[in-house]
Every structure is written in structure tokens, then in C-alpha cells.
Structure 1
């Protein structure tokens, strides 16, 4: 069986075709970075318009890459949430329209479930159960995963997501959009110990996180100190260490609480090299293992939506032709896949 996946939740248009026997057959991705760069962040209306322009051409390119026709597709999966409502509506409308025109079932996919399952696209996929750290521009979650759809949120950010804090701090440092990767690169030139930032909410029990205070601390430090490039690099270094240390401390607590030995990290921030190194070290000490998707599947992409859609499709979870999206959609509201 073959599923076409459509991802349009934010600022990347991702299309892919996944086969339950052969794996990933094709994937296409268009990033809107240049569209939003002049504004220093994602402009929702521009994102929606760009998805309208790019989605159909990318679907055609994906079918051509896989040497397939519409009749070869068994179902159409699309991101129904969470995300920007206008962007979601583009993918949902196109996905439902194609499903109706092709007389195929449509499958509404949860964006964060797509990220959570993205490591399953790799040859050496994690087995259930495992702990998942989902870190992106819009979400930061620690989830206990017993099986597909069996999710328990153990901790989450009560304000800014980790990726959001990265991007906002990068903007304060005068870095271009997207700021997170640029801040990480700048941090590599920083000197350890010149600045020490707080590790928020690590001095109290629990697994919830907060990054708005860390961002404010960075803003105040930048306003007072950032007079030259080396100082900016030192601030970036201190900020990144504080944020990553916070995530690692919370993961360590969750692993101890659950007794799990497998940790999955996914979402855009999971591509951060320092975060990967620190979590690798943590899992070595914990006598466990960390899993993550390849770099191109850390950010939003159609492959993860096609894969997640396949799991829902095979369980019989299909949608009617009503177009509904959920800009906010807690992952623990999903039904288990039996």
C-alpha cells in the first residue's frame, strides 16, 4: 500500500510517498525561509499563499520521482494540526480534494505524532516503549510512548517552546531568520564560563519547562553586554548551554521515573549538535540509547506525515470528506492504533 503525505503546518511544504513494503519511495520539500527572512519570522498569510503555489507542483514531482500515477496511491494523508490555521487549511483542502477526485480515503495526521514517529523511517528504528523529547519552534514535550497512539505527556513548556526561545534570542543578537541554527553556529565561537545563564525550573520537582525567563535573561544580557562579536558569541554559547542543560536534566528525571532505556528526540531542534551530544552522553551513562531522524527529517517534512498516515490507515482510521483542522491539538488526545 502506498500513502501520499502532505505537510503544510507552518513554513515548509513537504510531500512524500510511503510504501508499507518498500519504505519511502519519494519525498519533496520546499522551504519558505527566503519568503519570511525579510520579516524576521514566519508571516502566516504569506506562508498560506506559498503553500497554495507549491503543494500541487511538489505532488506532481513526487509522483514522477516515484514513477507512480494517481491510481497507484491507496490513501492521502495530510497534517490537520497543530499549526498555523491558514497553512493547515491549504494542505487539508488539497488532501481532501485529491482523495475525493481519486476515490481514495483521506487520513488526518497529527503533526507532532509525525515528528515522534520520524525515527521509524530509519533502518535502525526504536522499539516500543520509549521516551520521546519533541522539540520544535512551536512545541516542547516529554512523552512516554508505549505504542502508536498510546501517549502520556509527562512534561511540557508552560510558555515559549525551545525552538521559539532559540529564534527570539537569535533575533536579539542580530542574527537573520531562521535564527536557531545561526545561534548554534555562533555559539561554537563562544568562550565557556564568561556568562552563566539560569537553568529554569530545574531547582524544583516535575518535568514541565519554561523558557521565557531564559529568553528575558538573554535579552537583558545582550542589551548590557553585546558590544562586539566575541561577546555575542559568548552569550550565544551560554544561552545554548543553559537551554540544552535544562532539556537534559528533565529527560534524566523522566528516564529515572519511567525506567525506560530508549530515548527518541525529534523536531527541528533535535538537529542541534550540542543537544545530540549531551543526550548521547546521558544515555551512555543511563546504559540506554538515543534515536533521532536523519537531519532532513528533523524539520517539517512530508515523509513523517506519510509514515504516520500509513499507520493510521492500516488501523482503519479514515476521515470523511469534511475539511477540519486543529491549530491546537494535544497529542495525548489521539486514539491508540490497535
Structure 2
């Protein structure tokens, strides 16, 4: 992968939230939400990030956009270090990197009309004003499948799927290069999810967008992602081409997630892998491989030594049991 092809580089990214206790509120521990992950995103591709709730997916997206400050690590966007940007540089970066939030009900200001919501980024970044801004808002509404006649309505007058389309229009208002899709369909009905996914694919092809697509399950991610990264308890455990990862998973946790994908054929044999025990606390992760307490193939080395996230052919995987 040449440097010219890469839009985003993430290296050794950490985010530890302090746990405070006692009378003086001194740090007594830390929640290791993101604990040393690295990956690249190429221009025009979709990288899917999948894992259970609490594994650090959404936190990773927030850190990339610097909506949260990282504990340590490096995020490079087109060769610029996002973590070292000043206020002016950060505003310029935000024009090129936007986010679609998970909850279409909480992410829209109920006191603002749709026109005001979509037009606000245009005003803040000095892109358009007056009649030009109104025209651009109408174009964006049409782009996401809504009508310009809805510009004066408020968020409560729309369905969940329509609200998410408004959120997408707001994210695209500034013509970004990177869009972080933070579980954009998880709060929607199944019948609406496919519409939003198809819309995101169409917009990517039309506008040349790059996506970091965050979701809980591989059943959603596999339909939109070029590559897929699997996270568990703050760490990446596998990363590879989407089709190859789905058809031939290497890490035991990835195999578990794939076994949970619903089968369209009710007569198909159910080979679901059921894990024992609960997810360990990110404030006190287990030694060695973090998945070893639930792994059906666990060996002694798994509890003693943390596996290296290493490349095997075109795949990256962190597992002692995978050789190559």
C-alpha cells in the first residue's frame, strides 16, 4: 500500500478513562477503552469495525475525529497529525472528516428545522450563505431521498429512517473525504436498515467518500465493507479483506461472530458457537490474550502471553493458535 493511497493512518492508539475514588477523587485505576490499535484506511474504501458493546469501536471513531482526546498514539490524516492540530487546523480538518451518529433521535436538535440543521455546517465553515445556502440544503435533501418541501419541518415530524437521512445530509454538507458511520442503522427497523445501507453505498460511489463503518454484527458490516476489523476488549484481533475474512476466519472470536449471522434458509444446520462466561471488565482485562477466558480453544500460552497482532499473508491476526 503506497502512501498516496492512504487517507488515514492510526498507530498505537490508546484511550484510558481514569477511575477516581476516595475523598480527594484520586485515580485508582483506568478503563482501557482502546488499548493500542493500529490500522490504515485507503481513499475510497470502507473499513468495517465490528465487535461487542463496550469493545471500544465508537471510542475509536471519536478519537480519530478528536471528539475525544487520545491518551497516546498517532492519527494521521493525509499526512497531518490530528492530535497536534491547533484550533484553526482542527476546524479545517473537521470540514474533511464528519460523523453520522448512532441515534437519529438524540443527534438532531429538536429546536431547529431541517434546513437549519443541514445549513449550520455550511455557515460555520463559511461555505455558503443566504440563497446559495438554501439551494445547497435543498440539493442535500434531494440527495438523501427527502424532498425540498420538508425543509421547514422539525425532527419530531420525521420517522427514524428519515431522521438518519437528515443526519447523513448534515454530514455530507461540507463535502467531506472521510465519514465515520457510528452504528448508523442499529437504532432502525430491519426494513429501514437496508435502505440506509444502500444509500450510503450510492453516496460513496457518487461522491468518492471513504467510510469507517462501525457496527455490532458482521451481518451488517459484510454488505458494505471492503475490509473488516474485529475488536475485542479494546484491541484489534483480526483485520482483513471482507469476503476473505467472512469465508475463512482465523481468530476464534471472529468465528464466533460469523456463527451468529442469521441464516436465510431455516432448514440450514445451526452451527452457532456459544461462548461461556461474561466479557471481562476493560478496567481489569485478563493477562495474556484477552479472549482466553471465553475461548473454546484456549491453551496454556494464551493465559500467559499476549499474542502479537501480526500479518499472515494479507490478513492481520492476534492469536497464538494461528500459524503461518
TM-score, structure 1 length as denominator?
0.29
Q: Which of the pair is proportionally richer in strand? A: 2
Q: Greater relative contact order (Cα 8 A, min sep 6): structure 1 or 2?
A: 1
TM-score, structure 2 length as denominator?
0.30
